[in-house]
A and B are shown apart, each in its own frame.
Chain A
Amino acid sequence: MDLVNVDSRRARFETLAPAVIDAVRRYLARRTDPATADDVLSETLLICWRRFDEMPAEHLPWAYGVARLCLANAERGQRRQFRLLARITRLDPPPQVVDGPAPADDELAAALRRLRPEEAEILRLWAWEDLAPAGIAVALGITANAASIRLHRAKEKLRKTMTSSGHEESTEGSRP
Chain B
Amino acid sequence: MTDDDDLRARLRSADPAASLEPASPAQVAHLVEETMSSRSNKWALPVAAALVLIAGGAAWAVTRTDTPTPAPTPAIAMSPRPAKVVELTATGVQAKCREPQPQQLATSADFAFEGTVALIDNGRVTLKVSHVFRGATADDVVVAQAGDSSETMLGSGKFETGKTYLVSAAEGTVMICGYSGEADSIGLRELYEAAF
Using a CB–CB distance below 8 Å, which chain A residues touch chain B?
Answer: 1-3, 6, 10, 13-14, 17-18, 21-22, 25-27, 29-30, 41-42, 45-46, 48-51, 103-105, 108-109, 123-124, 126-128, 155, 158-159, 171, 175
Contacts and interface: CB of A to CB of B under 8 A. Distances in A.
Given A42-B34, A45-B35, A123 B20 contact: no
B90 interface: no
Contacts of B119: 6
Contacts of A171: 3, 6
Interface of B: 3-4, 6-8, 10-17, 20, 22-23, 25, 28, 31-32, 34-36, 38, 40, 116, 118-119, 128, 139-140, 161-162
A1 B162 contact: yes
B38 A46 contact: yes
A14 B32 contact: yes
Contacts, number: 90
Contact of A128 (B7, B12, B118, B128): B12
A17 B35 contact: yes
List the 10 shortest-distance A-B pairs measured between CB atoms, nearest first: A127-B11, A26-B17, A29-B17, A45-B35, A17-B32, A105-B14, A127-B8, A30-B17, A49-B35, A29-B20
A7 to B, nearest CB: 10
A124 B15 CA distance: 9
A98 to B, nearest CB: 19
21 contacts: A1-B118, A2-B162, A10-B36, A17-B32, A17-B35, A18-B25, A21-B28, A26-B20, A30-B17, A42-B31, A45-B31, A46-B38, A49-B35, A50-B40, A51-B139, A104-B14, A109-B14, A124-B11, A128-B11, A128-B15, A171-B3
